[in-house]
Amino acid sequence: MTMNRQGRPSAPGTVEENELPTISGDRGLDHEEGLIFELGREGMTGVDVPDVQMSETRLGGLRRKGPIGLPGLSEPEVVRHYVRLSRQNYAIDSGLYPLGSCTMKHNPRLNEKMARLPGFGDVHPLQPQQTVQGAFALISELMRWLTTLTGMPAVAMSPKAGAHGELCGLLAIRAAIEARGEKRPRILVPESAHGTNPATAAFAGFTVDEVPATKGGHVDADALEAKLGPDVCAIMLTNPNTCGLFEPRIIEMAEAVHKAGAYFYCDGANFNAIAGRVRPGDLGIDAMHINLHKTFSTPHGGGGPGAGPVVLSERLAPYAPLPLLMHDGSEFRMIEHADAASGGAKPFGRMCAFHGQMGMFTRALAYMLSHGRDGVRQASEDAVLSANYILASLKDVMSAPFGEGPCMHEALFDDSFLEGTGVTTLDFAKAMIDEGYHPMTMYFPLVVHGAMLIEPTESESKESLDRFIHVLRTMALEAKDGKKERFEGAPRLAPRRRLDETAAARKPVLRWRPKDLPQAAE
Amino acid sequence: MRYHPLTADDRVRMLGRIGAAGIDALFRDVPASAVVPLSAFDLPDTKGELEVERVMARMAARNMSAGSVPFFCGAGAYRHHVPSAVDHLIQRSEFLTSYTPYQPEIAQGTLQYLFEFQTQVALLTGMEVANASLYDGSTATAEGVLMAQRVTRRPKAILSGGLHPHYAETVETVAGLSGKVVRAQTMPGQAEDLASMIDGETACVVVQSPDVFGQIRDLKPIAEAAHAKGALLIVVVTEAMSFGLLESPGAQGADIVAAEGQAIGNGLNFGGPYVGLFATREKFLRQMPGRLCGETKDADGKRGFVLTLSTREQHIRRDKATSNICTNSGLCCLAFTIHLSLLGEEGLTRLARLNHARASALADRLAKVKGVSLMTDSFFNEFTIRLSKPASSVVDALAEKGIIAGVPASRLMPHEKVRDLLIVCATETNTDEDLEALAKGLSEVLS
């Protein structure tokens, strides 16, 4: 080791020295953290609650007899536990998160603050309607933004996520078909679709018929038209599609679908590429869900909660589910029962309790008001520009199956550039973790081999994109040069190495159980 | 725009690298007829943070927030005190701004809390396994019915009349598509004979306890009746705090528990986002909907967690999946898990007792008001009263006086026979002054 004259190391230690096991098992800022059930002790609590006397005469003899088995911890212990856990996560706040199709854009903190205003966060869904007129005004304003941006006349606000929105859209379509006295059991879904599309169609009781993709990565419009018939209820199509391409024949496809008496459902997961430039209503779409947690930046929160309002065409609007927000000229009314609905409304049912994801509505509206229509359009343009910049900067070293471009908000690569290197898409993606990046979406869409889908979003600076491009170029060149060390067994520098998912599925351990019962009983 | 890091100069240079003449060239696949100018959108232009706050604070001020008045609404959403640490921790960037943990090497934080959440839900419900949450209690109930139909290969679901009507309507909307849903009718204090409705076609019986009127139900007889005919018992709980005081559904014979977890860790939020709890028996594991987190080891032999059994899920199985669910309620689970960790056994038990004591005190006080009669004889923290006037007009009159008195049953079920019923809830957040204000207000309005 290099030392200075005082005997103090003047250069970082060697790798072997860094790998000396520590006494604690922790390594600097990286702490190993046990489960909450392995911490704590009996009788402790982190919340001071008075111990009140209580009569048991009103419990119907059903008072809990045994203990639950929860551990007891003080507040500082709980705070430290969850702070330590948080540090094992990658997040958009800490780095570029290029997950294609997931839209990991910046989550403004203003939106969090707005959702926590007592007038929004501390109101009950069933308190008298005259006491929540501001909440209705907020929902109404968000509805105005969504219908204006999409060019659609109506929107159902209650679906709780994208897939829930898909179900809502299909149920509205089903109701419209039934109102015509028809039965149409088949739904057409392109093979490039998100998994939720065929799952939702099956969930809603339809059979799924796949439509192939063209060599150019678009839906095969001719194959689609050939499949249309009197038994087809709807097509579910994502636009821009999951290959990151706008469907150039979409208007033509919509016309064919309508001519066949079917409806056009659009998966709006990728609306963020076109918001402020293109109105889905102008394309002939009948229903489209909007993932507020993608396009309108409500935080993903490690997997939820989301929100999936569904915009509806004139033909589907009457079938929107309960509840329905109305304005009678002087104030807002929330219609909560089918027999109170007026004006030709024939709601198909109810998607969930109450009125939808209000906390997400507040955040999304704060995002929209901040951006304005000009900012929304700029966001779409910057997202598309950044994706094309990545495509243009990497297509000579990575293989882009539809590489001539332009793409929309995400750039798709396949694994042919890795052919013969012994490095797989998975190895390549996992090696990105050691470089400080979250991997891109892998093996999706299914229409290309070893897919890598990169969505930078509008939230990255050019410097950030350039650095990312430099890292990926270098990795691609190293892989081609046969330098496999970086890829084999990656990641090495994350809180965990690759995890054994096969073992997890073969003998599922889905909860903690006390291991040392005999000692505990002492 | 403060959220967009690219400068005008950056954009020009990037277009240069791409070889595009302008931004429009990147949208060349869009049919010309579908491209609209900015003026086509009748919406405002960009605003600074201060202006947005002003606009939104004005809307918020038009609402009567629960904390500003004596407040007694429950019926599926409950106001509890959430410790400050909960909201601080869930706003940590690494929790708030991460995606679903599909890359477990850099998502152990999320995965470990989901594993803790699953364990907590299993313990509270008295069941063997729980998933990593569903959207909310109502959609969890619908998923429970669909799962029961898959497990038993029978079409019919019987819903207790005490099931929250929004939950029943959600079940009808989804499970009515391929199966048959039968709803019993009941009034508070009335027994319902669900057992006689069970037949060889019955997949499940769905019973809520405490029910929508607040009444605690003895689940054992109905569990026995269901099991005797090969049907499953689905127990629904809308007030998760009640797990701290009442016998668990698992101990009473539940096969599936679908619950709303909002009461622990999550605010009212005008109805969402909330968190659906879903638990069942180990033998039904592979028919379960939603994400599951499981324990495993990494290449160095260290314990770690991953999403598992995903062959049930839509992104793998597509049209053969057990459910179309993709998103869960991640951050709301985290709030639930942190609040419950802070409470622990001792805190939860005390808090549940305190809730029951507050509600009992309120019931005793209201029973003395002329024109009020108590309809619920056993309850956790909410109960139903019959008023001498229509409940919705009484609630409106009390709102004028700055008291949110509860939820009129007619808000949930538009039947003439429930016109005078009011569902009232009291929690640890209600002071003695609040209880007195409601009693006094009711006696004025009813006189």
HEC sequence for A265-312: EEEHHHHHHCCCCECHHHHCCCEEECCCCCCCCCCCCCCCCCCCCEEE
Check B28 against A160: CB less than 8 A apart.
no
Looking at the domain that runs over A111-365, which CATH code has it been given? 3.40.640.10
Q: How many domains does the structure of chain B reveal?
A: 2
Residue of A43, A65, A135 with shortest CB distance to B346: A43
Check A88 against B77: CB less than 8 A apart.
no
Contacts of residue A236, defined as CB under 8 A and 6 or more positions apart, other chains included, come to A166, A170, A187, A188, A189, A190, A193, A197, A200, A201, A265, A266, A267
A211: β partners: A190
- The domain segmentation of chain A, as residue ranges, is 111-365, 373-494
A445 three-state secondary structure: coil
Q: Which among A22, A30, A58 is the top mutation candidate for probing chain B, defined by the most B β-carbons within 10 Å of its own β-carbon?
A: A58
Check A301 against B334: CB less than 8 A apart.
yes
> Which of A473, A459, A468 lies closest to A396 in space, CA to CA?
A473
Determine how many CB atoms are found less than 10 A away from the CB of residue A502: 9
A27 three-state secondary structure: strand
Q: Nearest CA to CA, how far is A39 from chain B (Å)?
A: 10
Q: How would you classify the pairing of strands B202-208 and B180-183?
A: unpaired
Contacting residues of B for A98, CB less than 8 Å apart = none
Regarding whether B319 and B355 lie in a shared domain, the answer is: no
Which residues does chain A have with pLDDT short of 50?
Answer: 1, 13-17, 517-522
Which 65-104 residues of chain B touch chain A by CB within 8 A?
A: 65-68, 71, 73, 75-77, 79, 83, 85, 87-101, 103-104
Q: Nearest CA to CA, how far is B399 from chain A (Å)?
A: 7
Regarding whether B312 and B176 lie in a shared domain, the answer is: yes
Contacting residues of B for A135, CB less than 8 Å apart = 59, 63, 270
In a domain, B57, yes or no: no
Residue written as tokens 């689970």?
A: B333
The sheet with strand B407-408 has its strands ordered as B372-374, B382-387, B421-425, B407-408
Contacting residues of A for B1, CB less than 8 Å apart = 370-371, 374-375, 378-379
B259 three-state secondary structure: strand
What is the rounded CA–CA span in Å between residue A150 and residue A414? 32
> Which of B440, B446, B417 lies closest to B189 in space, CA to CA?
B417
Residue of A91, A358, A494 with shortest CB distance to B269: A358
A119 three-state secondary structure: helix
Length of chain A equals: 522
In a domain, B39, yes or no: no
Regarding whether B362 and B214 lie in a shared domain, the answer is: no
Residue of B52, B83, B246 with shortest CB distance to A110: B52
Residue A469 structure tokens: 């491009």
Check B77 against A511: CB less than 8 A apart.
no
What is the CATH classification number for the domain harbouring B207? 3.40.640.10
Residue A78 structure tokens: 């709980």
A42: β partners: none
Q: How would you classify the pairing of strands B421-425 and B407-408?
A: antiparallel
What is the rounded CA–CA span in Å between residue A283 and residue B336? 43
* Boundaries of domain holding B315: 84-339
In a domain, B51, yes or no: no
Residue B222 structure tokens: 């109905």
B246 three-state secondary structure: strand
A209 three-state secondary structure: strand
Which 234-293 residues of chain A touch chain B by CB within 8 A?
A: 245-248, 250-251, 274, 276-279, 282-283, 293
Regarding whether B404 and B266 lie in a shared domain, the answer is: no
How far is CA A50 from its chain centroid?
41
In a domain, B440, yes or no: yes
- A511-520 LR contacts (CB < 8 Å, sep 24+): A511/B115, A511/B118, A511/B119, A511/B122, A511/B129, A511/B130, A512/A35, A512/A37, A512/A38, A512/B115, A512/B116, A512/B119, A514/A37, A514/A69
Residue written as tokens 């619908």?
A: B142
Check A72 against B5: CB less than 8 A apart.
no
In a domain, B50, yes or no: no
B183: β partners: B159
Residue A154 structure tokens: 């109506």
End of a domain among B302, B317, B339?
B339
What is the rounded CA–CA span in Å between residue B317 and residue B312? 6
What is the rounded CA–CA span in Å between residue B226 and residue B253? 10
- Residue A240, by phi and psi: left (phi above 0), alpha (psi -120 to 50) or beta? beta
Query: Are residues B233 and B205 in contact, defined by beta-carbon separation less than 8 angstroms?
Result: yes
> Which of A366, A293, A365, A459 lies closest to A144 in space, CA to CA?
A365
CA Rg, chain B, in Å? 25
Residue of A53, A349, A369 with shortest CB distance to B47: A369
Give this complex's ipTM: 0.97
End of a domain among B292, B320, B339?
B339
What is the rounded CA–CA span in Å between residue A218 and residue A249? 9
Length of chain B equals: 447
Contacting residues of B for A458, CB less than 8 Å apart = 3-4, 6
Residue written as tokens 């995400």?
A: A410
End of a domain among B339, B355, B371?
B339
Residue B137 structure tokens: 């209690």
A325: β partners: A334
Residue type, B109: G
- The pTM (predicted TM-score) of the whole model is 0.96
- Report CA torsion sign: B393, B397, B402, B405: negative
Regarding whether B363 and B321 lie in a shared domain, the answer is: no
Residue A409 structure tokens: 């908000």
Residue A354 structure tokens: 């109450």
Q: How would you classify the pairing of strands A332-335 and A324-327?
A: antiparallel
Residue type, B320: K
Regarding whether B434 and B353 lie in a shared domain, the answer is: yes
Query: Are residues B207 and B168 in contact, defined by beta-carbon separation less than 8 angstroms?
Result: no
In a domain, B129, yes or no: yes
> Which of B401, B383, B382, B384 lies closest to B442 in space, CA to CA?
B401
Q: Which among A80, A87, A88, A89 is the top mutation candidate for probing chain B, defined by the most B β-carbons within 10 Å of its own β-carbon?
A: A89
Contacting residues of A for B272, CB less than 8 Å apart = 125, 160, 305, 352, 354-360
| Rounded-to-5 percentages of helix, strand, coil across chain B | 45, 15, 40
Check B105 against A68: CB less than 8 A apart.
no
Whether B431 has its CB under 8 Å from any CB of chain A: the answer is: no
What is the rounded CA–CA span in Å between residue A144 and residue A136? 12
What is the CATH classification number for the domain harbouring B435? 3.90.1150.10
Phi first, then psi, for residue A227 (nearest 5°) are -85, -15
Residue A151 structure tokens: 């060019």
In a domain, B29, yes or no: no
Burial of A128 (0-12, 13-18, 19+ CB in 10 A): buried
Whether B166 has its CB under 8 Å from any CB of chain A: the answer is: yes
A231 three-state secondary structure: coil
Which H or E run contains B277? Answer: strand B276-280
Regarding whether B398 and B270 lie in a shared domain, the answer is: no
Check A274 against B30: CB less than 8 A apart.
yes
The sheet with strand A411-413 has its strands ordered as A411-413, A452-454, A441-442
Query: Are residues B153 and B295 in contact, defined by beta-carbon separation less than 8 angstroms?
Result: no
What is the rounded CA–CA span in Å between residue B79 and residue A118? 12
- Report CA torsion sign: A308, A313, A316, A322: positive
Which H or E run contains A232? Answer: strand A232-238
Which 210-239 residues of chain A touch chain B by CB within 8 A?
A: none
What is the rounded CA–CA span in Å between residue B390 and residue B411? 12
Peptide bond into A9 cis (omega under 30): no
Regarding whether B366 and B238 lie in a shared domain, the answer is: no
pLDDT tens per residue, chain B (447 residues)? 999 999 999 999 999 999 999 999 999 999 999 999 999 999 999 999 999 999 999 999 999 999 999 999 999 999 999 999 999 999 999 999 999 999 999 999 999 999 999 999 999 999 999 999 999 999 999 999 999 999 999 999 999 999 999 999 999 999 988 899 999 988 887 879 999 999 999 999 999 999 999 999 999 999 999 999 999 999 999 999 999 999 999 999 999 999 999 999 999 999 999 999 999 999 999 999 999 999 999 999 999 999 999 877 677 676 777 777 767 899 999 999 999 999 999 999 999 999 999 999 999 999 999 999 999 999 999 999 999 999 999 999 999 999 999 999 999 998 899 999 999 999 999 999 999 999 999 999 999
Contacts of residue A256, defined as CB under 8 A and 6 or more positions apart, other chains included, come to A221, A224, A225, A228
pLDDT at A15: 47
Which 459-488 residues of chain A touch chain B by CB within 8 A?
A: 459-462, 464
Q: Establish how many alpha carbons lie within 13 A of residue B23's alpha carbon, considering only the half-sphere containing its beta carbon.
A: 19
Check B19 against A392: CB less than 8 A apart.
yes
Residue written as tokens 């009457």?
A: A318
Whether B270 has its CB under 8 Å from any CB of chain A: the answer is: yes
Determine how many CB atoms are found less than 10 A away from the CB of residue A133: 17
Residue A367 structure tokens: 């995002």
Burial of A417 (0-12, 13-18, 19+ CB in 10 A): buried
Strand ranges (DSSP E) for A299-409?
Answer: 310-312, 324-327, 332-335
Residue type, B409: A
Regarding whether B351 and B257 lie in a shared domain, the answer is: no
Q: Which residues in B205-226 are b (16+ Cβ under 10 Å) and which e?
A: bbbbbbbbbbbbbebeebbebb
**Per-residue model confidence as pLDDT tens digits over A440-474:** 999 999 889 999 999 999 999 999 999 999 999 99
Check B329 against A304: CB less than 8 A apart.
yes
pLDDT at A8: 65
What CATH class does A373-494 carry?
Answer: alpha beta
What is the rounded CA–CA span in Å between residue B249 and residue B234? 9
